[in-house]
Amino acid sequence: MKVRIKFAKTKAAKYIGHLDTMRFFQKAVRRAGIDVVYSRGFNPHQVMSFAAPLGLGLSGHGEYFDLEINEPEADRDTVAAELAKRLNKEMCGGFLIVAAKPLAEGAKNAMASVAAAAYTVKISEEAGLPIDWMSQFEKFMNRQEMIYHKVTKKGEREIDLRPLIYKTGYSTDNSGNTSLSLLLDASSANSIKPQFVIEAFFDYIGQQLPEYALSISREDIYANTGTAEKPNFVTLLDYI
């Protein structure tokens, strides 16, 4: 039986890389005494697969992995809920289990299901945004095309970001700071990072985005139950 686990990775855990995050969960599963399935072969490992690696320094509130456990006798929903509870006792440093649900037979795995991700981006004062940046951002979003030069190991590539941005919005925190909300393509073919959009925006307003000026949080990860033209996004926790 496979269980989809939704977790948060915040505070100190932000600074733990993806490989170390996987090692952390492997150990947590062992500490929790979960009856996990191991792969066959010379180097058996837990059958555990993560939806999408989260970059170092980003916090995540809706991160996912699927875990295969040996078929239980009890009710599957109860087993998943119990698993979440036990695993949560093993969390520390800003890791938290949010929920766990059983995956239906034949359901797509977490990684293959990823279509989009929602982000909140806080731009620090050091970046020197103009006071009317929101209206400028609206204009920026109204353009037909949004060319971004992505620098990769192999060189530079042009991407049109516009069709890969599904939704934008704003939120204001208690201290009156406004953050940007972005729903972006996160599929394996077209995934873009929130930094790309912000860089393109700074380019548009003729400013240079300073290094380390963004504080980014990934709020949730979505699958698409609609079509490419008319997408319908549901969180991975509901796509089971």
* Contacts to another protein by CB under 8 A: 11-13, 15-17, 19-20, 23-24, 26-31, 38, 42, 44, 56-57, 90, 92-94, 212, 215
Cα–Cα dist 143/68, whole Å: 45
Burial 190-226 (b: 16+ CB within 10 A, else e): eebbbbbbbbbbbbeeeeebeeebbebbbbbbbbbee
Q: How many CA atoms lie within 13 A of 208 on its CB side?
A: 2
Q: 77: part of which helix (H) or strand (E)?
A: helix 76-88
Q: 187: part of which helix (H) or strand (E)?
A: none
The encoded tokens of residue 82 equal 């119990």
CB of 94 to another protein, least distance (A): 7
Question: Of 27 and 85, which CB lies nearer to another protein in the complex structure?
Answer: 27
CB of 212 to another protein, least distance (A): 5
Question: Of 94 and 231, which CB lies nearer to another protein in the complex structure?
Answer: 94
CB of 240 to another protein, least distance (A): 26
CB of 13 to another protein, least distance (A): 8
Question: Of 92 and 147, which CB lies nearer to another protein in the complex structure?
Answer: 92
CB of 92 to another protein, least distance (A): 6
**3-state secondary structure at position 12:** helix
Strands 233-235 and 95-102: unpaired
Question: Of 11 and 167, which CB lies nearer to another protein in the complex structure?
Answer: 11
Question: Of 96 and 223, which CB lies nearer to another protein in the complex structure?
Answer: 96
Beta bridge partners of 64: 6
Between the alpha carbon of residue 75 and those of residues 67, 85, 106, 168, the distances in Å are: 17, 16, 18, 40
34 phi and psi angles, rounded to 5 deg: -80, 135
CB of 223 to another protein, least distance (A): 30
Question: Of 131 and 212, which CB lies nearer to another protein in the complex structure?
Answer: 212
Question: Of 19 and 74, which CB lies nearer to another protein in the complex structure?
Answer: 19
CB of 198 to another protein, least distance (A): 15
